[in-house]
């Protein structure tokens, strides 16, 4: 009898957990996990300033905001206000250096898996002061699992209004890995989206699938007339062959984009390019076979061994570190670092870690309008941190 009761109890707990996993997190609240749960335990990193010596500067790393739940990205509004995307589906506000207690409301339900899926990226419209449009990428739940989508809302005070999806990708699946989606406005006014393969490897090579592609749409979500990759490709497909993009930033001098792969590549994305996946890899992942005959593929700008698990990228244009102007900074998840890359002719001219083993994984890196470098940490008690000269 006791054994039967125990088995019934275990069955009830299992069904309850399964139901909670399928539900996903809800925007604006601390919803349940996705198919894979909340993620790793919180770290115990303290909040004291941390001092480091680099090749060019002595730096100090300070905490700006803490107790954030998997802060996936940060961005800045024209007035200097910082917005932080928590993966569970909240947008937090940092104003005048202080984390505001209430999140911005209006984000739709997200499919959340700690450190893997949820609310991903934020991008104000280039004419934000006129229209107040804020764009975001998130993992959208549905009957077929989840996919990556671009949403948009008008930021009015502390809420998003007129919220709607302007583009929903067709990379639906039930896998918990490779769900990243990053966005950036180009100088042409188009909105570019880099999305992971969602573990749908054969789909990456297909012109009818969004998996593992960089897409181009208007600020209303409309595709261009045709794809630069030619016939057989959806018109919004701008480039292909990506495994797990974790940043997308336009080059300040060209129309190309810098993209980082979680498998430790930095790519320079050109219109119509094919970057190899799932047939070629620099390290992580298992290719599915040799590339089709006649395929033209572009190799990475930088490969990293041992792996940093690169995430986030910024091209520094501030005034607090004059010697770093034009340098590229990326985060390292596995090594808990920010890594500096000095661009050279087709390959980095110099590289250095600013620090390693910080205490939390570095998820996103951005240049602030005040000239400092900012980054978020990937943790259930994550932070926004700032790099300053000593």
Q: Which residues are catalytic, by number?
A: 178
Distance CA 4, CA 298 (A): 60
Look up residue 114 and give its two tokens: 């700690």
- 307 within 8 A of 263, measured Cβ to Cβ: yes
Look up residue 16 and give its two tokens: 């309850």
Distance CA 227, CA 216 (A): 9
Look up residue 173 and give its two tokens: 């699946």
Strands annotated E in 21-99: 50-53, 58-68, 71-76, 82-86, 90-95, 98-99
- Residue appearing with tokens 């200097």: 80
Residue 315's φ and ψ, nearest 5 degrees, are -105, 115
Distance CA 230, CA 214 (A): 15
- 73 within 8 A of 376, measured Cβ to Cβ: yes
Question: Cβ atoms within 10 A of the Cβ of 232, count?
Answer: 10
Helix (H, G, I), strand (E, B) or coil at 64: strand
- 332 within 8 A of 310, measured Cβ to Cβ: yes
Distance CA 83, CA 74 (A): 6
Selection from 93, 29, 27 nearest residue 384 by Cα = 93
Distance CA 281, CA 111 (A): 28
Distance CA 140, CA 111 (A): 6
């Amino acid at each position: 009898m006791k054994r039967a009761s125990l088995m019934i109890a275990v069955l009830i707990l299992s069904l309850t957990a399964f139901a909670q996993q399928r539900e996903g997190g809800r925007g604006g609240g601390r919803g349940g996990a996705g198919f894979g749960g909340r993620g790793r335990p919180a770290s115990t990193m303290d909040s004291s300033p941390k001092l480091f010596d680099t090749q060019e500067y002595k730096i100090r790393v300070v905490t700006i905001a803490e107790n954030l739940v998997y802060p996936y990205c940060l961005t800045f509004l024209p007035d200097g206000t910082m917005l932080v995307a928590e993966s569970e589906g909240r947008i937090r506000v940092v104003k005048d250096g202080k984390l505001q207690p209430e999140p911005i409301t209006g984000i739709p339900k997200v499919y959340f898996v700690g450190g893997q899926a949820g609310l991903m990226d934020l991008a104000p419209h280039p004419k934000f002061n006129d229209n107040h449009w804020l764009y975001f990428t998130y993992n959208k739940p549905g009957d077929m699992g989840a996919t990556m989508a671009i949403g948009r809302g008008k930021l009015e005070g502390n809420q998003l209004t007129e919220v709607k999806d302007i583009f929903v990708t067709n990379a639906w699946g039930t896998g918990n890995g490779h769900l990243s989606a990053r966005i950036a406005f180009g100088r042409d006014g188009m909105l570019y989206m880099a999305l992971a393969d969602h573990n749908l490897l054969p789909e990456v090579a297909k012109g009818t699938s969004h998996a593992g592609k960089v897409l181009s749409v208007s600020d209303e979500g409309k595709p261009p007339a045709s794809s630069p990759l030619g016939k057989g490709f959806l018109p919004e497909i701008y480039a292909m062959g990506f495994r797990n993009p974790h940043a997308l930033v336009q080059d300040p001098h060209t129309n190309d984009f810098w993209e980082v792969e979680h498998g430790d590549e930095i790519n320079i994305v050109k219109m119509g390019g094919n970057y190899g996946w799932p047939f070629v890899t620099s390290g992580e992942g298992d290719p599915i076979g040799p590339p089709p005959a006649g395929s033209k593929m572009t190799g990475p700008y930088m490969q990293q061994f041992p792996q940093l698990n690169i995430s986030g990228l910024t091209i520094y244009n501030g005034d607090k570190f004059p010697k770093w102007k034009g340098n590229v900074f990326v985060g390292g998840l596995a090594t808990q670092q920010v890594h500096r890359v000095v661009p050279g002719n087709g390959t980095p001219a110099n590289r250095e870690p600013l620090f390693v083993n910080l205490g939390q994984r570095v998820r996103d890196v951005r240049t602030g309008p005040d000239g400092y470098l900012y980054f978020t940490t990937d943790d259930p008690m994550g932070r926004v941190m700032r790099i300053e000269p000593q």
